[in-house]
């Protein structure tokens, strides 16, 4: 259970506020669907002593992370996480938001400027829900990733991915994230819901977005700064001329290899 849920002492009031808000919304919005489930939740809380954040997390598909201000710092004080993206919840609990974004299996997440901006965004969270999206490339469609993204495993021969199989072998993993502050305790709820699709769906269903995807990926991974990996070249060959053209305009790499 520690891999899925943990809490710090003193986080119970914030957990209860979050539980009450989500529980009320679910039973009011979907009364028929949650009427029987509501009784089970009340029974579990009474007889099993389950924490409020854990019991309410069983009602929604999103992972739930609770952030509170402790001694002037934003700390993750409780979390129910089933589908992490290359991180382990039990290692992040009790740490600041900035520290969490500075320590991952894949290395620091973004620059110091990015982490400072993330801290600021979390700190400025209001009672209105803020929505944002995040995305990654993975080798498999598995939702639960507690360890390193295997694309960056030094023992993996990335020549396995080429222009002919990249559409099936590579996967887009994207997350819908929300932030909301709760009025009574001032706690912030950070929700994460991951989705995974094979890369071929981008080419088949959203070809007009290929150029934007290529530019965004090149900027995020700083492709001009170092040699490309074999799987990255295979990915761009699979996506075709639109991807190469967009990246070449951005990186000024020279002649188009797709010609």
d(CA 175, CA 235): 21
Its pTM stands at 0.83
Q: Categorize the per-residue pLDDT at 103 as very low, low, confident or very high, splitting at 50, 70 and 90.
A: low
SS3 of residue 174 by DSSP: strand
Instruction: Give the pLDDT of residue 152.
Output: 83
DSSP letters, 139-160, are SS--S-B-S--GGG-TTS-GGG
* Alpha carbon separation from 17 to 5, 50, 74, 131, 184 (Å, rounded): 17, 15, 18, 20, 7
d(CA 126, CA 117): 16
- Is the pLDDT at 41 greater than 70? The verdict is no
- The overall average pLDDT reported for the chain is 84
Query: How much of the chain exceeds pLDDT 70, in percent?
Result: 81
d(CA 37, CA 255): 60
> 5-132+174-194 — its CATH code?
3.30.450
* Bridge partners for 145 per DSSP: 85
Read off the pLDDT of each residue in 176-182 and give the average, rounded to a whole number.
Answer: 95
Q: Categorize the per-residue pLDDT at 257 as very low, low, confident or very high, splitting at 50, 70 and 90.
A: very low
* DSSP H helices in 86-229: 89-92, 97-102, 112-123, 166-169, 200-205, 210-221
What element of type H or E holds 66? Answer: strand 63-70
Query: How much of the chain exceeds pLDDT 90, in percent?
Result: 51
Cβ pair 224, 199 in contact under 8 A? no
- Is the pLDDT at 258 greater than 50? The verdict is no
């Amino acid at each position: 259970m520690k891999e899925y849920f943990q809490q710090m002492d003193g986080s119970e009031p914030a957990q209860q506020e979050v539980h009450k808000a989500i529980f009320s919304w679910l039973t009011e919005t979907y009364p028929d669907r949650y009427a029987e489930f509501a009784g089970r939740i009340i029974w579990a809380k009474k007889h099993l002593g389950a924490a409020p954040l854990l019991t309410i997390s069983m009602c929604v598909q999103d992972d739930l992370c609770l952030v509170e201000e402790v001694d002037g710092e934003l700390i993750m004080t409780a979390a129910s996480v089933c589908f992490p993206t290359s991180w382990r919840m039990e290692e992040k609990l009790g740490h600041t938001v900035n520290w969490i974004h500075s320590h991952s299996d894949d290395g620091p997440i973004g620059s110091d400027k990015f982490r400072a901006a993330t801290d600021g965004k979390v700190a400025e969270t209001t009672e209105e829900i803020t929505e944002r999206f995040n995305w990654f490339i993975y080798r498999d469609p598995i939702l639960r990733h507690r360890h390193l993204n295997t694309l960056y495993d030094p023992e993996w021969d990335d020549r396995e991915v080429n222009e002919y199989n990249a559409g099936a072998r590579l996967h887009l993993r994207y997350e819908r994230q929300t932030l909301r502050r709760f009025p009574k305790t001032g706690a912030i709820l950070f929700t994460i819901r991951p989705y995974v699709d094979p890369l071929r769906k981008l080419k088949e269903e959203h070809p007009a977005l290929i150029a934007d995807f290529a530019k965004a990926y090149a900027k995020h991974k700083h492709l001009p700064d170092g040699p490309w990996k074999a799987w990255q070249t295979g990915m761009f060959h699979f996506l075709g001329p639109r991807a190469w053209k967009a990246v070449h305009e951005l990186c000024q790499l020279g002649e188009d290899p797709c010609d």
